[in-house]
Structure 1
Amino acid sequence: MLHYLLDFILGLGIGFIAGLLGVGGGFLIVPTLVLLGEPMHLAIGTSLACIVLSSLSASITHIKRGAVLYRVVLLKEIFSVPFAVLGAYLSSMIAGEKLKLIFALLLLYLAYKMARRDKNIEGNGSEIHYSRVPVVGILSGLVSGLLGISGGVLNVPLFHTFVGIPMRYAVGTSSFALFFTALAGAIEHYQLGQVDVRTAVLLAPGLIIGGRLGALTAHSVRPETLRRAFAGVLILVALKMLL
């Protein structure tokens, strides 16, 4: 009984963070599953299956609040999918430590940009640069393929600081985009026998409830608070990469 309760609490916490910040939560799920004894490849596949659930739950709430920009999702995914495949192919040719260093530095820079207050971006969203979305798709896809993580930690800060999407819309749009990215990856891993279905099912209730609660919270807190919280997450992920 205690084991089921811990799985629920774990799923609830990860789902909440995913829904609140528009990230997949893979940077939390994978190390947690590894600590619990899952082999790395199985942890990654199971993580993607979990992200499908948390992002879908969060997306439904964001869609109801009108915080998903479908044009951005479509443009991004057109470029993310093929570049994720390319990134996976290139991962065997590039030194992992160099990749982690570059990625960590990029995250620290984005954390700085996110922490800065920009009132113009938090306006009505009329200055969104749709022509820049493919760049986000390419970077997000490459990083996902190269490092085996979801692109959420890049989607939100780039949507916000580079494309000019207001913070709540950046979170909602990222959540919806992650659903498709994670679903494609989860199906592939499942076919390879790299998804622990039992663990995913045990985490599912917490992920679904947490994703919805996180998404609701994202619409009730100030955009400045969201930005600073995300900047903190970026710094933590960057330090994890460096250490």
Structure 2
Amino acid sequence: MAEIIELIFLGIGVGALSGFFGIGGGTILVPALLFIGFDMKSAVGISVVQMVFSSIYGSYLNLKKGTLDVRMVLAIGVGGAVGALGSSFIVSALSGRTLEWIFMGFVLFALGRLFFKTVDHDQEVKKVHPALLFVIGLLLGAFSISIGVGGSILLVPILAGFLHVPLKNAISAGLFFVVFSSISGLVSLSAGGYVDYYHGVIIGIASMAGVFGGIWLKHVVPVKQHKLLMIAFYLVVIGYFFYRLVVKHG
């Protein structure tokens, strides 16, 4: 019973941060699961289940609030779904430690793009060929699901920094992308035997309550403060993985 209560509170917290930062939840959940004793590959499987719940519900809320442009992210989403189908192969081919290094690399890149380039643009969103958007989604889907994240951790800085999408809209688009990548990744990882449905469903259902609060808070906090909180969040994640990979096991 104590374990279930712990997982419920974990799910609520992950959901709240997921809705607030527009991420699938894996960026929060994977480090949390590693901290409480799960290995990397088990954490990836649990994370993908949770992402299905939080991304679908969160995207529904964002659509109601008018910050989700479905047409803009559709090509990227389809590419992400195709790429995520190969996630099981990547997980089986790489060691857990290697996946952790890749995870930290994803967060470092996202932090760099957000910190140095991302601003809240007022000018028109850049037009990009759907084929290029598909390729972006393909690459994000393949590698992000393999480390238990939905891909929005990289997609949000790309949309805001390169394509001039307003930050709050980019966050909504990032969460919607996770719908495609997480469902496809769940199919792939299930086939490879990497999914722990018991823990994943408990955390996933609990995360839906947190997502509601996180999305509400996203629309209350000013853009500048929201960006600073995203930077702080990425720094905490990087610090934890640096400790695990360099200090603890270096």
1:166 aligns with 2:166: yes
Helix, strand or coil for the counterpart of 1:204?
helix
What's the counterpart of residue 115 of structure 2?
112
Residue 187 of structure 1 and its aligned partner are, at CA, apart by 2.3
Q: Distance in 2 between matches of 1:87 and 1:11?
A: 23
Residue 173 of structure 1 and its aligned partner are, at CA, apart by 1.1
Aligned match for 1:129, one of 123, 127, 130: 127
Q: For residue 112 of structure 1, what is the amino acid of its counterpart?
A: F
CA RMSD across the alignment: 3.1
Q: Residues 76 and 133 of structure 1 are in contact (CA less than 8 Å); yes or no, is this contact kept in structure 2?
A: yes
Q: Distance in 1 between matches of 2:210 and 2:74?
A: 26
Q: Residues 155 and 174 of structure 1 are in contact (CA less than 8 Å); yes or no, is this contact kept in structure 2?
A: yes
Q: Residues 133 and 163 of structure 1 are in contact (CA less than 8 Å); yes or no, is this contact kept in structure 2?
A: no
Q: For residue 127 of structure 2, what is the amino acid of its counterpart?
A: H
Deviations 1:39-85 (A, max 9, x none): 43332111100111111121111010111111222121233344445
Shift in alpha-carbon separation, 1:241–1:67, aligned structure 2, 3 A: same
Residue 108 of structure 1 and its aligned partner are, at CA, apart by 3.8
Shift in alpha-carbon separation, 1:197–1:68, aligned structure 2, 3 A: same
Q: Distance in 1 between matches of 2:241 and 2:127?
A: 30
> How many residues are matched?
238
Shift in alpha-carbon separation, 1:67–1:188, aligned structure 2, 3 A: same
Report sequence identity in percent. Answer: 24
What's the counterpart of residue 20 of structure 1?
20
Q: For residue 113 of structure 2, what is the amino acid of its counterpart?
A: L
Give the TM-score normalised by structure 2.
0.79
Q: Distance in 1 between matches of 2:196 and 2:236?
A: 27
1:196 aligns with 2:196: yes
Give the TM-score normalised by structure 1.
0.81
Alignment of 1:38-53 (within 5 A): 38-53=38-53
Shift in alpha-carbon separation, 1:103–1:202, aligned structure 2, 3 A: closer
Residue 165 of structure 1 and its aligned partner are, at CA, apart by 0.8
What's the counterpart of residue 72 of structure 2?
72
Q: For residue 126 of structure 2, what is the amino acid of its counterpart?
A: I
Q: Distance in 1 between matches of 2:188 and 2:87?
A: 16
What's the counterpart of residue 227 of structure 1?
227
Larger mean Cα displacement after TM superposition, 146-155 or 223-232: 146-155
Residue 103 of structure 1 and its aligned partner are, at CA, apart by 4.2
What's the counterpart of residue 9 of structure 1?
9
Residue 90 of structure 1 and its aligned partner are, at CA, apart by 6.9
Structure 2 unaligned spans of 5+: none
What's the counterpart of residue 180 of structure 1?
180
Q: For residue 74 of structure 2, what is the amino acid of its counterpart?
A: L
Helix, strand or coil for the counterpart of 1:163?
coil
